[in-house]
A and B are shown apart, each in its own frame.
Chain A
Amino acid sequence: MAVNVTVRFFAVAREWMGTASVELSIPDGSTTEAVWDLLVQREPKFSTWRDRLRLAVNNDYVSAPVALRTGDEVAVIPPVSGG
């Protein structure tokens, strides 16, 4: 059984991916770490800037890896400075 999640990208992460969201399939029992791994494969910048980006799962910011279930939504939120 795989877990299917939606990953949404904001600000500069959206530019990197060239899209606002992707659907990802990760192994059962995976956490947000599995999402990171897939993102890094698609775009190496996620690896470089990983500690400067924040993830929110179902609209809650998370600090530590969180177990994911099918239907969960993961948002990738970079800091933004423009004014």
Chain B
Amino acid sequence: MGVQGSFSRYARHLVIPEIGAQGQDRLRRSSVVVIGAGGLGSPVLQYLAAAGVGTIGVVDDDVVAESNLQRQVIHRTDQIGRPKVETAAAYLRALNPDVTVRPVASRLTSMNAVEVLRPYDVIVDGSDNFPTRYLLSDAGVLLRKPVVYGSVYRFEGQVSVFDARRGPCYRCLYQTPPPPEMAPDCGDAGVLGVLPGLVGTIQAAETLKLLLGVGEPLIGRLLLVDGLAMEMRELRFKKDPACPVCSASPSITTLVDHEAFCATSQRQEDAAMVREMTVEELKERMDRQAPPSILDVREVDEHEFVNIGGTVIPVGELPERWKELDPSKEWVVYCRSGVRSANAVRFLQQQGFNDVKNLRGGILAWARTIDPTKPTY
């Protein structure tokens, strides 16, 4: 549907010289992907859809919980338990049928981020955890797309726009993620329900400005919203000449497996309890025709891309499907780098698998030391 047919819907845009019919048409031809259909994502999605942004992607792997409703105003009480991307998509389609909504009900990872984000003009960070925030900022640099960042804590919020072509990125501000005990996620920390509303509407405004090419985006500026004092201050920050991602000589040139970020002392202790098998040991066992049973806990398309055989059950499906496996057998579990499979080993041990080991370093280690003809990713 063109602007002509929707004259009345966008009338208040059309009369603004900075937008007009041309700007409205530009919005219709634009696409935005919003990561997180939660407290920040709710107002971002609502205002972008209302404004007539033509294509909106929504990425979230969560379902609606009662405790979300205090701030995640796109979901309703009668939708508890349903996937957030579904309920958000239903809301947006009812709000504005001109908009094409693309729900993605998975968690963004270094594996799928490029594929998920690439089709869109602008990335909006409405996530609730550091690994995703770093992933989005890095992806924005690598894909040369602006990232409209927002985050909240209790009565406070932060908003900025990262565009490495014109200014700094998130790693220029904070080079590495903090440990969880310093910065608990929203679920642990608490937040005044309206705070993500304040921050999210600013993110929506920045997104529309970027799409329209009007005004001054929050590039190199971090807006700090203090809801208690009801003060906003603008902090200026510059590109870090030593930024690992957006500097002239970056040390990070591909997306980092976000699970690795979570390697806290607790996780390292857990890892110590997971028994391991090296790729050399596995090769030796295969060579003498006495291999253990092998389980690949990556996604099916990862397995099809490169594998060393075995049964495929993605780690996310393991809680439903582990009964397909014989707990009396000896198992070795692998994934790409050994992180997902370590989680799987821990889970299987809890289900009574007595002889289950993690393939150290995953298929990457196999490709590196045993079979260099295997492609890596």
- A window 39-80: CB within 8 A of B: 45, 49, 52, 54, 56, 59-61, 63, 75, 77-80
Q: B178 contacts the other chain (Cβ, under 8 Å)? A: yes
Whether A82 contacts B186 in the complex (CB less than 8 A), given A12-B153, A52-B178, A54-B174, comes out as: yes
- Say whether A80 contacts B151, CB under 8 Å: yes
- Say whether B178 contacts A78, CB under 8 Å: yes
One of A54, A59, A60, A81 near B151 (C-beta < 8 A)? A81
| Chain A residues with CB below 8 A from B177, complex form | 79
How many chain B residues touch A (Cβ–Cβ < 8 Å)? 45
Chain B nearest CB: distance from A19 CB in Å?
Answer: 12
One of B127, B156, B178 near A83 (C-beta < 8 A)? B127
- Say whether B36 contacts A12, CB under 8 Å: no
Q: How far, in whole Å, are A83 and B108 apart by their CA atoms in the complex? A: 15
One of A20, A75, A78, A83 near B235 (C-beta < 8 A)? A75
Q: B189 contacts the other chain (Cβ, under 8 Å)? A: yes
- Say whether A59 contacts B233, CB under 8 Å: yes
| Chain B residues with CB below 8 A from A82, complex form | 39, 128, 151-153, 185-186, 189, 191, 196
| Chain A residues with CB below 8 A from B237, complex form | 60-61
- Say whether B183 contacts A81, CB under 8 Å: yes
- B window 4-36: CB within 8 A of A: 36
Q: How far, in whole Å, are A67 and B196 apart by their CA atoms in the complex? A: 36
- Say whether B158 contacts A59, CB under 8 Å: no
Q: How far, in whole Å, are A20 and B125 apart by their CA atoms in the complex? A: 27
Q: How far, in whole Å, are A56 and B223 apart by their CA atoms in the complex? A: 13
Q: A11 contacts the other chain (Cβ, under 8 Å)? A: yes
* Most central of B36, B196, B229, B233 by chain A CB within 10 Å: B233
One of B133, B150, B182 near A78 (C-beta < 8 A)? B182
Q: How far, in whole Å, are A9 and B245 apart by their CA atoms in the complex? A: 28
Chain A nearest CB: distance from B171 CB in Å?
Answer: 11
- Say whether A81 contacts B130, CB under 8 Å: yes
Q: How far, in whole Å, are A14 and B126 apart by their CA atoms in the complex? A: 23
Q: How far, in whole Å, are A80 and B121 apart by their CA atoms in the complex? A: 25
- Say whether A59 contacts B236, CB under 8 Å: yes
Q: B173 contacts the other chain (Cβ, under 8 Å)? A: yes
Q: How far, in whole Å, are A11 and B224 apart by their CA atoms in the complex? A: 10
- Say whether B153 contacts A54, CB under 8 Å: no
Q: B40 contacts the other chain (Cβ, under 8 Å)? A: yes
- Say whether B229 contacts A20, CB under 8 Å: yes
Q: B38 contacts the other chain (Cβ, under 8 Å)? A: yes
Q: A36 contacts the other chain (Cβ, under 8 Å)? A: no
Chain A nearest CB: distance from B64 CB in Å?
Answer: 15
| Chain B residues with CB below 8 A from A20, complex form | 228-229
Closest to A48 in B: B182
Chain A nearest CB: distance from B259 CB in Å?
Answer: 16
- Say whether B240 contacts A54, CB under 8 Å: no
- Say whether B153 contacts A60, CB under 8 Å: no
- Say whether B152 contacts A79, CB under 8 Å: no
- Say whether B174 contacts A52, CB under 8 Å: yes
- Say whether B196 contacts A54, CB under 8 Å: no
| Chain B residues with CB below 8 A from A14, complex form | 156
Q: How far, in whole Å, are A63 and B224 apart by their CA atoms in the complex? A: 19
- Say whether A10 contacts B224, CB under 8 Å: yes
One of A59, A60, A79 near B178 (C-beta < 8 A)? A79
- Say whether A11 contacts B235, CB under 8 Å: no
Pick 16 A–B contacts, CB within 8 A, sort by A: A12-B153, A52-B178, A52-B182, A59-B235, A60-B236, A61-B235, A75-B233, A78-B183, A80-B158, A81-B127, A82-B189, A83-B41, A83-B126, A83-B127, A83-B129, A83-B152
